[in-house]
Chain A
Amino acid sequence: MAKIVIDGVEYEVNPDNNLLQECLSQGLDLPYFCWHPSMGSVGACRQCAVKQYRDEDDKEGMLVMACMTPASDGAIISLEDEQAKSFRSDVIESLMISHPHDCPVCEEGGECHLQDMTQMSGHNYRRYDKKKRTHRNQYLGPFINHEMNRCITCYRCVRYYDDYAGGTDLSAQASHHHVYFGRHEEGVLESEFSGNLVEVCPTGVFTDKAFSQHYSRKWDLQTAPSVCVGCSVGCNTAPGERYGTLRRIVNRYNSEVNGYFLCDRGRFGFDYVNSRERLLEPVKRVDNTGELLADDEIKAVIKEFSREGTIGIGSPRASNESNFALKTMVGDENFFAGYSDSESESMAAVLTLASDKAFHSPSVRKIEEADAVLILGEDVTNVAPRIALALRQSVRNKAMDLASESRIPQWQDAAVRELAQHERSPLSILSPAVSRLDDIAADRVIESLPALVAMGHQIANKISGSAPAATSPEHDAVAEKIAAQLKGAKRPLIVAGSSNGSELIKAAANIARALHEDGEDAAIDLCLLVPEVNSIGMGLMAAEENSLGVALDKLSSGAAKRVIVLENDLYRRAAKSQVDSALDKAEKVLVLDQVTTATTAKADVILPVTAFSEHEATYINYEGRAQLSFQVHQCQKMAQPAWRWISDAAHIDDLVERCCSEAPGFAKLRDVLPGENPFIAGMKVPRQSHRYSGRTAMIANVNVHEPKQMEDKESIMSFSMEGISAQKDPSIMASPWAPKWNSNQSISKFQDEVNGELKQGHVGSLLFEKTASGSYFDVPAVAAQPSGKQLHLALSYQIFGSDELSARAEPIRERMTDAYVGICPEDAQSRGLAQGDVATITPTGAPVVVCIRTGVKPGTALLYCGDANISPAEFTGLLEIEKSAAQATSRGISSLIVSDFQEEEI
């Protein structure tokens, strides 16, 4: 620690930080633009000037940029010095010269960092009365608006988009007062993380396009702390509602999980909550039409389904509470997994490994700390996007080491990058096709899935001779190199997932176990990705032998008469014929879901379920981290949380308590609930801000009488602006705000230090206990080789489309492609297929678009199943493709963003 003096007051600070970081960490107000907590300093905007003095006798001092000056021991600085204050005020005046007077119509107004900083630095009268420079804006796709006139050229957008997120299609153009941030021509921003521009831009150049369409000010949105349900990472979010519709999602800081950033699926994929496809009334099927169920009829249905002979199928996209309620209702032995049988196998491996002392499942933040990474067969960008962003940061650890050697502080962003050039920590990708992370990969091997499994085992064997041997002679040298890199690393990380069966997971585990043996028994980071928000939670609840296949067989054979399907479209999980025969044979089918699906079409009774923003729930992410998501707003119609339909629990806390004591593995779930006495003076935490406007007038067009505020009898939060605001307790804070800080940058007021944990902690609860000591998996028997026209199959996923619910959101739809099959040019030629042709695949005969990619392994076909029609469970390891006479549909594959799309020669 070091001691510095700021305006006569002594502070204990970390000398590795710069003065701006420390001023903010100490709770002081100092304006800045170009600095961002996750991106370090470049000293471009000159806004954070302070006076620094040589020693106590120095009365003159000199102006320095706080963000470029280390907080070294004995430093004496002043924020309040008149010269420093007037310098900051002059800088902002010049930055603001061409900024339009459009705050009243700007989407950023009210949460604008530029507004806050202008106020803070005291520039309140514009002297410049000449012509302002203006720009033409670009169309940037369905997510982001562009309004370049508002730009103050802080360069944060390109530093985030290019340097941090690895984007290539946004650049700084022109010079001096013409500087322009945009694409080389209009078009969709390609990065999967483009939405963060909305929060990174300190003003309104990049704004949320879908939000603009039904806009509301930040303070008029009802908000609560929520968790993204788009994938298994469980990023923390703050959804905002007004007039009964969900309007937008912004990031909510969690130091261990998402930090400051979300992916575009998470940010723009919520619109299905408002959609017409939502189920909002309890209905029964009478002669193929739906008929509204009366209350007593619902009771009768529940009673009927409580009898012997009922089985329940859980859901990886439903909460722990709803899965637990169903499991309790039907009994442990009648509760079945709601994912495919292949995924059941993978999940069994994942859960076994989760309790193994040899491994550690790293949080997103820990992933960023890895100094050698191996990705085995998983397309991280499309399966768990936020982790791909973290992996991009991990390769910079080499640069950080080089900087330390040269005594350059890590926050000196431009200097560290200049020093490191192309030096990166090793990241190796073994996959069936090129991926969106290839640009940072030191080594990549493109192989068929069986060959990747063999190579994984080969690497494990090279690290430790006690791992079972496997050979992959073609890639021996690369395997040797990767093994050496992992062995030599301080914090190696192995990434795999359940996208293509359990064998890759097992191979990855063997590599990690070999490192564990080699590395004096330290737990090795093994990140195993699963597809959905609560795959782990449901996996923990369903007995291993209770797979979906068994459930469907029970129905088909008549061993079970009735089935309750919880928030699940079984047609995405198993072969169509299998689901058809099970549901046709079942006497009665009860489906609880949020939206209409192929499964609800087969239901005798449908009970409508609330969406993620309409109920309180807990979910468990890929690393076993349980997190609580609060209700944001009420469902205007009759939907309820699934557990409420099928259990007599009065409160989610009751279910959590019961789940803790009854379900194995859930003992620590109660830690996510708010503390014993969360209320200050007995008052609840308001979901509406103290500036929430129009409460008495919001429905005046319907009724001039102001209705009573809706009560929330269960939660510690209220649907009101009254109560004690959560600002002092970040664990129940959706939207940070502090005096003078209306933008998301106010988060520094709630962190124990910049980039640190929130002051009262809110990182969720890790459920897994490390108790077991496992052993190596065996190398699998040689997989079936393709014969004739067959190809190896590798299932492929898309960030926009593979997730069932976000695929129904309008902005996401604009970015989706049809189901496609990705093959290399030689395989296409030998089948007479051209780019964009329609082909049929066996065994299902479903039509798919042909996508010829130069980076696909010859002899392998990537299959992306689209968002509806093809179930991945139809296929085993091999696939045949034949040309079809059918026409491509309108969507086609034009919005596919891959680097190896084969184009016509010029």
Chain B
Amino acid sequence: MSLRSPVGRVLGLGAAGEGVGHWWTQRVTSVALVLLGLWFVIALIGLPDRSYETVTSWMHDPFNAVMLSLLVGTAVYHSLLGVQVVVEDYVSDHGSKIVSMLALQFIHFILGALGIFSVLRVAFGSAA
């Protein structure tokens, strides 16, 4: 016999009320990061040099700009999900947990916004 309500069963969110969303999103972003991360490393190695002109004209390319933006966004998202688990594991005090999560969320959103804005600024700027 189940003690769960029919609504609870339909929603499938379990005892914590959050379901598998966090876990699943961590997997999805990890698969994306395998591809985006390898693309970035290979692309970086493939550059003839890392001068300002080379890097900006590389970032000016639409495909590179989109992939870089996706890399920044996905990496920040995956990182935030990861450090959230670390905080939940090691910070037992409720107040400290909320404060550290708030700080980490702010830092991650700032990093994501800075990174993507920078890529787009180069991408939409005039070609080097």
A interacts with B: no
Name B residues whose Cβ lies closer than 8 Å to a Cβ of A: none
Name A residues whose Cβ lies closer than 8 Å to a Cβ of B: none
